[in-house]
A and B are shown apart, each in its own frame.
Chain A
Amino acid sequence: MMRLELVKRPQRSALFSMLSPFIAFALTIIAGAIMFALLGVNPLNAFKIYFIEPISQVWQLHELAIKAAPLILIAVGLSVCYKANIWNIGAEGQFIFGAIFGSIIPVLFPQFEGPLVLPLMLLLGMVGGAAYAAIPALLKTRFNTNEILTSLMLVYVAQLFLDWLVRGPWRDPQGHGFPQTIQFGDSAVLPELMPDAGRANWGFVFALVAAVLIWILMGRMLKGFEVRVLGSSPRAGRFAGFGLNRMVFFAFLLSGALAGLAGISEVSGAIGQLQPVISPGYGFTAIIVAFLGRLNPLGIVAAGLVLALTYLGGEAVQSALGISDKVARVFQGMLLFFVLGCDTLIHYRIRLIGLALTKQEAPAKLEAAPKLKEAR
């Protein structure tokens, strides 16, 4: 009988910690090449269509920014949660509720126009996302529920609620029965940055500003220190006088507000109205972005652009090669898998327990390592 065990390394390699995302990306490319070959297309050609052609012209870079903006906005918020060891998996739902709250003004009060409309919408979007994120926070602090489950399940509630809204009370009466709201008025549309060059809107600027602000918060401010202490050693955090419950609310409200801002920016900028589906899974993909960016806000900006490209590439191979755009999901999944794999191998090394010892008990482990699997 052979067995694989993970043994903790005494030291982490700083070099490989830094290289890990790049190694993961390279492995994804290799695995992707195999996948394309199995699908019967030339991998080199497919990669050219997937990764290069979608960003070869200026207007396409604008499309990239449109896709990257919500990913970055959501992921920098999530990075705060994850640093605090709080597992908000429900950013997709907070994104949707941000979009719904922000749409209250253009949908219910379309006659209200002027320069105040947009700031109010953005503010309401943040409030909506934060309020929706407050639910798992409250459940966790009050009843000690697992926030992974509650925040995830609330995503489906949000999706169905949006679906009901646009088919029911908020449906455009002149929309020929299509499940969508009225088109937002001019003053409710997020302006484009450079209308002559492409469609990219202010959402991308919000994302960059948020990344810089969160970077300052986490690296330079006492609050960021509190996040890191409570996340890495909660008991030391309590000794420092930091409250864990307060932190749960802080992390959820902050990440919820940013996801909500992403939601209303997407609806007001890229879509222009509410529909049954307003996100191709940004809230979930942002989890990959957060980890690929090493939970560092500046790394997240780069990771957000990479993941945005997987969306564009998926659309490109679908139209050029006739391959399903689910390829994008496969690439995202492989990327997350390899990132987590590389990170694990930075902290642990694999040890093969051979035949020699199987008669006796396996040597006691000094540091408990999770068993990978048992193989014959």
Chain B
Amino acid sequence: MSANHDGANLLEVRGLTKIFGTLTACDHIDLNIAKGEIHALLGENGAGKSTLVKMLFGSLEPNSGEIFWNGQAVRITSPGAAKKLGIGMVFQHFSLFEALTAAENIALSLDDGSPISSIAAKARALSYSYGLPLDPESLVGDLSVGERQRIEIIRCLLQTPQLIILDEPTSVLTPQEADKLFETLERLRSEGKSILYISHRLEEVKRICDRATVLRHGKVVGHCNPREQTASSLARMMVGSEVQAVVRAPVEGIETAQPLLEIRGLNRKPATPFSIPLKNISLNVRAGEVIGIAGVAGNGQGEFFESVSGEVLQQDTASVRIRGKDAGGLTITGRRLLGAAFVPEERLGHGAAPRMKLSENLLLSRHATDGKAFVGTGGMVRSGAVYAASQRIIEAMDVRKSAPDPEAAALSGGNLQKFIVGRELDRRPSVMVVNQPTWGVDAGAAAHIRQALIELSRSGSAVLVISQDLDELFEISDAIAVMHNGELSKPMPIAEATFEKVGLLMGGAEPGHAEHTLETA
């Protein structure tokens, strides 16, 4: 199965190098993928995985190095050339038109001019034969993220590729959906197809991959059989050092603690045809606890965050209460002045203005709450005080940067996230709402951020974390609620929560059903 002898290699990469300016994103990468194997590509964010894959798929041209396909040297100059060779790719971020049907989306990428009806029939047959049932006539906008991923996979399979590249495929799936995907991948392997599987989830790599190539800082640091490794030994290869485990002390007397953030019957109509309405969401976050909200992406988390933060106001002013005061009618500034702090999912362009300096980005969220310290008479900005505060945050959060006060866009994702989280922590907010606290952040920085959130709660604040990363939620939450299709389940105390229970709710099981299992458990 994991054939490793010469001649059976479908793809061989020798010394592939890509340089962007002063950064060597890929430095002499060697990689062999045998026929009929699932090969994992492991690495932290910024390790060079995406760059490598883009070169294999023809979106980027390497500066040097060779690619052999079935033993023949090839130049992959475009995605079209890659498809002709037999390389297919399923991207992490889907490129689908929401207003078109699944079949129409597939037809757009097949430029052979065949009629949509025949494409739909083929797609339907293929989808059932691989256990990924899909209705080609359905509008993409109506489909769940898991179903959209199926379209991407079917679209890729229709081109009968020999090598399928999957970029973080399970990041948008429930545990149960991921199981189904794994079955499909094993089926493809048994048909002799090869798969390059990009992930940072070590457990699933151990479970389905035959071999792994680990990248760090653009270099290959090792090839291994993931089944012979432990998750922590793989993590050590990826990170290059031990990752500090997050410590979460149990809280006592939380039942009697005061709720600092109360959400009561929050409803929101969809703002666009493809956004999710929020339905009667209720939740209390008490002083001293971390509540996690799990859910597959696109189930209303973004809409929920906007409603809680005050970027969108509520008609019913009592539907959001902060420290006992009705806040539904207050703007984000008003809510901040009540003691709340917010960290949105998107860093560049939402949490931070990309072309502005870090000190200016500090002012972005704190110009009102720290008005006395940062803004003087007549609306003049005290840039000295702002700069000093930003340096304090940079130090506290260990933000690595190349200049004293660089533009936000010049920082790596992890470092910018540390700054954005640190910017809010520095205020000691009594309510902290974070959407995807460690999305795309390397392991070391992620541990730092998670620990900081737990410590904030233990110092008497209410912390609400929205995340798609279940491992993360189980690590930091005192209770987990699940958002599905705009509805929120009751929070499950962490002692009673399991991956399976949360996964079922993420997939849309009745919230009541979960409560029932809780009572009987």
Chain A interfacial positions (CB closer than 8 Å to B):
10-11, 220-223, 225, 228-229, 232-233, 235-241, 357, 360-364, 366
Instruction: Find the residue from B77, B310, B346, B364 having the highest chain A CB count within 10 A.
Output: B364
Are B80 and A235 in contact, with the CB atoms below 8 A?
no
B167 at the interface (CB under 8 A from A): no
State the CA gap A229–B357 with chains docked (Å).
Answer: 11
Whether the Cβ atoms of A360 and B77 lie closer than 8 Å is yes
Closest CB-CB distance, B333 to chain A, in whole Å?
3
Closest 6 A/B residue pairs (Cβ): A241-B333, A361-B80, A236-B353, A233-B353, A364-B59, A240-B364
Report which of B58, B311, B333, B353 forms a contact with A363, defined as CB distance below 8 A.
B58
B77-A239 in contact (CB<8A): no
| Cβ-defined contact, A225 with B363, below 8 A | yes
Q: Which B residues are in CB contact (< 8 Å) with A361? A: 78-81
B79 cross-chain contacts in A, Cβ below 8 A: 361, 364
Smallest Cβ-Cβ distance to B57: which chain A residue = A364
The 8 Å CB contact of A221, one of B336, B368, B381, is: B381
A363-B349 contact given A223-B379, A357-B78, CB 8 Å threshold: no
Most buried by B among A228, A232, A238, A241: A241
Looking at the complex, which one of B59, B309, B310, B351 makes contact with A236 (CB distance below 8 Å)? B351
Min distance, Cβ A227 to any Cβ of chain B, angstroms: 12
* A–B Cβ pairs within 8 angstroms, 6 of them: A222-B367, A229-B356, A233-B355, A239-B344, A239-B365, A241-B332
Whether A363 contacts B354 by the Cβ 8 Å rule is no
A357 to B507, CA, bound (A): 46
Complexed CA–CA distance, A21 and B215 (Å): 45
Given contacts A220-B381, A239-B364, A364-B78, contact A232 B311 (CB under 8 A): no
CB distance from B33 to the nearest CB of A (A): 22
Docked pose: A152 CA to B224 CA in angstroms:
66
Quick one: CB contact mask for B412-435 with A, threshold 8 Å, 1 for yes?
Answer: 000000000000000000000000
The residue of chain A having its C-beta at the shortest distance from the C-beta of B366 within the complex is A240
7 additional contacts (CB under 8 A) given A222-B375, A232-B354: A223-B379, A229-B356, A233-B355, A236-B349, A240-B364, A361-B78, A364-B58
| Count class of interface residues, chain B | 35 or more
Within 8 Å CB of A236, what residues of B? 349-353, 364
B331 touching A241, Cβ below 8 Å: yes
Chain B's nearest CB lies how many Å from the CB of A160? 40
Distance (whole angstroms) from the CB of A131 to the closest CB of chain B: 25
Residues of chain B in range 94-118 having any CB-CB distance to chain A below 8 Å: none
A241 to B354, CA, bound (A): 17
| B80 A360 Cβ-Cβ under 8 A | yes
Distance (whole angstroms) from the CB of B43 to the closest CB of chain A: 20
CB pair B58–A228 under 8 Å, yes or no, is no
Contact A360 B81 (CB under 8 A): yes
Residue pair A232, B355 in contact (C-beta under 8 Å): yes
A contact residues around B77 at 8 Å (CB): 357, 360, 363
- A363 pairs with B61, CB closer than 8 A: yes
Task: Tell whether B21 is near chain A: CB-to-CB under 8 Å.
Answer: yes
Query: In the bound complex, do residue B21 and residue A10 qualify as a contact, i.e. CB atoms below 8 Å apart?
Result: yes
> Known: A364-B59, A366-B60. Contact between A238 and B353, CB under 8 A?
no
CB of B360 within 8 A of chain A? Answer: yes
User: Within the assembled complex, what's the spacing in Å between the Cα atoms of A237 and B60?
Assistant: 34
Contact with A along B55-70 (1 / 0, CB 8 A): 0001111000000000
Contact B367 A225 (CB under 8 A): yes
**CB-nearest residue of chain A to B311:** A238
Closest residue on chain A to residue B363 by CB atoms: A225
Interchain CB contact under 8 A, A233 and B78: no
Interface presence of B495 (CB below 8 A): no
* Beta-carbon contact of B78 and A220 below 8 Å: no
Indicate which residue in B349, B365, B375 contacts A233 across the interface (CB closer than 8 Å). B349
Chain A residues lying within 8 Å of B333, measured Cβ to Cβ, are: 241
Q: Which residues of A are found within 8 Å of B346, using beta-carbon distances?
A: 235
Residues in B whose Cβ lies below 8 Å from that of A235: 346, 349-350
How far apart sit A235 and B349, CA to CA, in the bound complex (Å)?
6
Q: A228–B363 Cα gap in the complex (Å)?
A: 12
B328-361 to A contact mask, C-beta < 8 Å, 1/0: 0001110010000010101001111111100010
- Point out the residues of chain A lying under 8 angstroms from B364, CB to CB: 229, 236, 239-240
Q: Does B521 contact A (CB under 8 A)?
A: no
Question: A13 to chain B: closest CB distance in Å?
Answer: 13
Provide the residues of chain B in CB contact with A233, threshold 8 Å.
349-350, 353-355
Q: Which residue of A lies closest to B312 (CB)?
A: A238
Interchain CB contact under 8 A, A222 and B381: yes
Pair A240/B365 contact, Cβ less than 8 Å: yes
Q: How far is the CA of A98 from the CA of B333 in the complex (A)?
A: 36
- Distance A239 CA – B346 CA, assembled complex (angstroms): 11
Of the candidates A220, A225, A237, A362, the one whose C-beta lies within 8 Å of that of B360 is A225
Task: Name A362's closest neighbour in chain B (CB-CB).
Answer: B78
